[in-house]
Structure 1
Amino acid sequence: MNIDTLQKFVALVRHMNYTTASRELHITQPGLSKSISELEKELGVKLFRREGELELTPAGEFCLERAEEIVYQRTLMENGCRQLANSDDTALRIAYPYGVDKTYDAILAAYRHVRSRHPYVPIRFSSQDRVPLLQKLTQNKVDVGTVILFQGDLDCFSAEEGGEFQLELLCADAPELWVPLDHPLSKKESIELEDIEKIPLFVGQAPPFELFRTTLESFASSYGLTLRMLPKAVNSLEEFVIAAEGSNAGLLLASRGVGEARGHEKPAMTMKASFALPITSYHYFIYRKGDANPLLREYMDEVKNQMMRAGE
């Protein structure tokens, strides 16, 4: 079986006439008849009833749907290759950090936007932690990613990695405190750092939040406070609810937007927006210096556009 034979089968079904179908295919009628007979022999079924007007059998109906899809995919591939042969566009490989944050929806929307504008260009989308992301950028396996950095982290990053990569600020973020509705703190209009001392605390967002933990601990220590942060990191309210079951942990300190980014917000939780810490995380695009891929700028600009629309 080959795709040309399936194309002949589809053409015959379209016309239900050997003469008309063979004329469209630019082959002889006996040649078309032979191809259909060989296909039926290979499949072990009759595709047509030939008494009177040509008519598909149930097996023919079954095979038609699949043959049309194969022929369609072949056409897409041929058209795509022709487009790529006459285009300056290259592939775009996008990485985003593990976990959910306020940028996720914008990144996903921008990815879909670029794909719709360049349907024949390979555009890949994957999640990466910072260390493998840097390795893949160095190895030219990823074109652009996003990293979350804190001020101290940013200073170290700029010194150690800044020569090879370009950083471009996307947005800044601040932590928020999520509290179960049945927790005593949910009734308070505002929550101070002293209120959460000694309470088991989940810290949202997986790496690179190690620095966030140490920064928060240092900040609390400067006020003579000790925070009890659990080692497990969670990336959504859904994960938090599951992780907190059966334990005495009732609070989640998370990057802004973690509750809404994928629709995981639970009615049993409330966000205490009045809880603020002077700790800011920065979301950066990161890519190789001098990268001339035209899709790179289009993607990054679209992420920014999506962030602006979300903030309106």
Structure 2
Amino acid sequence: MELRVLNYFLAVVREKNITNAANFLHITQPALSKQLKQLEDELGVILFQRGNREIELTDEGRFLANRAKEILDLVEKTTLNISSEEVVTGSVAIGGGETEAMQVVAKAIKKMKRKHPDIKIQLYSGNGDYISEMLDNGLLDFGLVIDPVEKQRYNYFKLNEVNQWGLLVREDNPLAKKQSLAVDDLRDIPLLIADQTLVDNRIAEWAGVSLQNFQVVGTYNLLYNASLMVKEGLASALCIDGIINTSASTLVFIPLEPDLISNLNIIWKKDFLPSKAASVFLDNLKSIIVSS
């Protein structure tokens, strides 16, 4: 499977029309159709359902489209990171969940860019499961993740910052008047929780009972959209502090009692051979953490 043909395939996916894709690629329509047919023959699957006006992807076509984008992104990233000794260029791909600790990463990037302005940064947002998958697939250099995470699978170091768990509620909720919330306060209210198995286990450990004993009405992977559900009074959200700015809103964050604290970690693959750009970033991040 040639990279050139994957680019052709993605052009057809984007244009939804072989003729338009051929015009975009500056090749003839018969030549493009032949390349696509050879790709299907090589893989032994049908990638497109060809209609009169637009093509539609089969299930196999949708799978290949997702993987082809990842493959080409990885090739581009690898090419960018082969740089000269004199000037460090390339890119650093960093993923992380929603947390104020991303400010530490921002400081490290700012310090790095002063000396190496040609290094590009690629930022991705997602929960711990998403970040781990991206790391495992080689699409990220580093991940900023909140405990709990399976750190034995990765190289990592712990940041100085910690996150406190609590409940995000509307200001007219009776619980909003409390200074902290115990397990019994959560039993009879609809809850939104993070869509991560390890996080669920951590909260269940704090509560001393399975989350099946609570009214969990939904899950979220990033908090902003969940906060809109809270604003509408549909549920309250178990989350960490500082992600949603409640100072000028109708929402209130209430910490859990006893405290439920999560550490933050930078993780990277154990077999990861860092590019020059990634090494420079990691050195700057460590210096920021040591000096803070």
TM-score normalised by the shorter chain: which range applies?
A: 0.5 to 0.7
Q: Tell me the CA shift for residue 175 of structure 1.
A: 0.7
Other-structure match for 1:94: 93
Q: Which residue of 1 aligns with 2:215?
A: 228
The alignment covers a number of residue pairs equal to 209
Q: Compared with structure 1, are the counterparts of its residues 271 and 307 closer, same or farther at alpha carbon in structure 2 (3 Å cutoff)?
A: farther
- Look up the match of 1:242: 228
Aligned positions of 1:162-181 closer than 5 A = 165-170=154-159, 171-181=161-171
- Contact 1:175 1:277 (C-alpha < 8 Å) held by counterparts: no
Deviation for aligned residue 1:248 = 4.1
Check whether the contact 1:175–1:276 (CA below 8 A) recurs between aligned residues: no
Rg: which structure is higher?
1
1:185 aligns with 2:175: yes
Q: Report the Cα distance in structure 1 between the residues aligned to 2:133 and 2:227, rounded to whole angstroms.
A: 34
Whole-Å separation in 1 of the counterparts to 2:169 and 2:180: 12
Unaligned runs of 5+ in 1: 1-80
Aligned equivalents of 2:92, 2:285: Cα separation in 1: 15
Please say if 1:268 is aligned against 2:250.
yes
How has the CA–CA distance of structure 1 residues 172 and 136 changed in structure 2, closer, same or farther, with 3 Å as cutoff? same
| TM-score normalised over the length of structure 1 | 0.53
Deviations 1:70-103 (A, max 9, x none): xxxxxxxxxxx9xx64525242322222x41122
Separation in structure 1 between the aligned mates of residue 137 and residue 178 of structure 2, nearest angstrom: 51
The RMSD of aligned alpha carbons is: 3.7
**Cross-structure match for 2:204:** 217
How many angstroms apart in 2 are the aligned matches of 1:294 and 1:123?
13
Aligned ranges for residues 229-308 of structure 1 at < 5 Å?
229-233=216-220, 235-236=222-223, 238-244=224-230, 247-249=233-235, 251-260=236-245, 266-273=248-255, 275-277=256-258, 279-289=260-270, 291=273, 293-300=275-282, 302-303=284-285
Of 131-140 and 209-218, more deviation after overlay is shown by: 131-140
Note if 1:201 corresponds to 2:191. yes
The CA distance in 2 between the partners of 1:224 and 1:243, in whole Å, is 20
1:182-240 deviation per Cα after TM superposition (whole angstroms, max 9, x unaligned): 1111222332221121111122xx55x3222233235434499932223221634x534
Distance 2:183 2:211 in 1: 11
Question: Is the CA contact (8 Å cut-off) linking 1:201 and 1:229 kept in structure 2?
Answer: yes
One-letter amino acid matched to 1:117: K
Contact 1:176/1:253 (8 A) holds in 2: yes
The two structures have a TM-score, normalised by structure 2, of: 0.57
Judge conservation of contact 1:202–1:234 (CA < 8 Å) in 2: no
Matched position secondary structure for 2:228:
helix
Change (3 A) 1:231 1:139: closer
Q: Please tell me whether the aligned partners of residues 176 and 271 of structure 1 are also in contact (alpha carbons under 8 angstroms).
A: yes
Distance 1:131 1:199 in 2: 27
Q: Per-residue deviation at 1:292?
A: 5.0
TM-fit CA distance, 1:306? 6.1
Distance across 1 between alignment mates of 2:93 and 2:229:
30
Per-residue CA shift, 1:137-166, capped at 9, x if unaligned? 45544322223331xx43xx41xx2xxx31
Asked if 1 retains the 8 angstrom alpha-carbon contact of 2:231 and 2:251, the reply is no
Distance 1:227 1:299 in 2: 43
The answer for the alignment partner of 2:106 in structure 1 is 108
Q: For residues 134 and 91 of structure 1, do their structure 2 counterparts lie closer, same or farther at Cα, with a shift above 3 Å needed?
A: farther
Query: Structure 2: 5+ residue runs without aligned partners?
Result: 1-79
244 and 187 in structure 1: CA distance in 2 versus 1, 3 angstrom threshold: closer
What secondary structure is seen at the aligned counterpart in 2 of 1:174? strand
